[in-house]
């Protein structure tokens, strides 16, 4: 049976805080919905969500960073929620996702910013730091390994191959879109619940996620993973920016050994492991926000 409830707006009004506003930015040939807060001349932090998230996944960090004196900019990445969703796979290749963020930073009148990412947003953040290092001041990574570590682990670890089943499934034409869209996106809801600790996503929060998914559908999000498979590697492996990795040890999709291996590719890296914590580490542990504030300050 279809869900007949009225779905909420999915812009900055979800936070009910007059300091936080929705804006629309034309960057890199797409229009992005961007939630922004803070003085325009304050130190700039860009927060990048992953799949199946949208800007709202950073709600706790937005307020904390704002009150700490930062300018916070949180885009719905292309293909998500209120942002434009180009057709096809090539628009979702990693270089295009990186260029979106570079141009967004420049649209803020800055040459560079602190960049923090979770899930696929962290993969974009790693790549931005490697491909365009002058754009990133400090890097924050939540529960995603360095690109080289992920690639090498996939070659050597049967456990990680099995945990990455969904990456291979998303390469199949049309079937993933059908599977994730049917029954009011119940499989998308299940992906939130299965990958998190019990109670991380309550009924009202899931209601808001359903509303966000309805805007562009699931196809563009799946094309992120198809575009990822079509993307060339960064020219360098070593991250020169000060980097903080926060990792929930109970992530069911990623083996935790990749966290320490990722630090080995950072000239100035720090790792915080969080036991009894899922992939959604920044939702479940307030210490993550505290660690990010200390790192970015």
24 catalytic, yes or no? no
Residue from 11, 100, 119, 251 carrying the catalytic annotation = 119
Neighbours of 90 (CB within 10 A): 13
Alpha-carbon distance of 79 to 92, in angstroms, equals: 8
Helix axes 59-67, 286-296, angle to 10 degrees: 40
49 catalytic, yes or no? no
Q: Which of 136, 153, 164 is nearest to 244 (CA)?
A: 136
Strand-by-strand arrangement of the 30-37 sheet? 20-27, 30-37, 71-75, 44-48, 113-118, 136-142, 243-248, 269-274
Neighbours of 237 (CB within 10 A): 12
295 catalytic, yes or no? no
Residue from 49, 114, 146, 279 carrying the catalytic annotation = 279
Residue from 225, 251, 282, 295 carrying the catalytic annotation = 225
Which residues are designated catalytic?
119, 225, 279
């Amino acid at each position: 049976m279809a869900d007949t409830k009225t779905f909420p707006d999915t812009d900055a009004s979800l936070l009910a805080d007059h300091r936080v506003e929705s804006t629309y930015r034309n960057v890199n040939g797409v229009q992005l919905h961007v939630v922004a807060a803070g003085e325009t001349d304050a130190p700039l932090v860009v927060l990048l969500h992953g799949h199946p998230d949208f800007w709202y996944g950073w709600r706790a960090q937005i307020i904390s960073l704002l009150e700490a004196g930062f300018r916070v900019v949180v885009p719905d990445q292309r293909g998500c929620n209120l942002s434009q969703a180009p057709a096809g796979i090539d628009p979702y290749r990693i270089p295009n996702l990186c260029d979106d963020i570079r141009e967004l930073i420049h649209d803020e009148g800055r040459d560079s910013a602190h960049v923090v990412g979770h899930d696929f947003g962290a993969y974009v953040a790693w790549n931005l730091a490697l491909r365009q290092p002058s754009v990133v001041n400090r890097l924050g990574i939540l529960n995603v390994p360095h690109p080289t570590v992920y690639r090498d682990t996939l070659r050597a670890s049967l456990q990680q191959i099995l945990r990455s089943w969904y990456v291979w499934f998303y390469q199949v034409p049309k079937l993933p879109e059908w599977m994730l869209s049917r029954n009011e996106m119940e499989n998308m809801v299940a992906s939130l619940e299965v990958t998190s600790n019990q109670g991380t996503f309550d009924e009202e929060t899931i209601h808001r996620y359903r509303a966000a998914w309805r805007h562009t559908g699931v196809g563009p999000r799946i094309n992120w993973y198809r575009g990822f498979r079509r993307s060339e590697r960064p020219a360098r492996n070593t991250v020169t920016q000060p980097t903080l990795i926060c990792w929930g040890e109970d992530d069911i999709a990623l083996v935790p050994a990749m966290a320490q291996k990722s630090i080995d590719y950072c000239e100035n890296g720090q790792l915080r492991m969080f036991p009894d914590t899922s992939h959604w580490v920044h939702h479940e542990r307030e210490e993550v926000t505290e660690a990010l504030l200390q790192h970015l300050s």
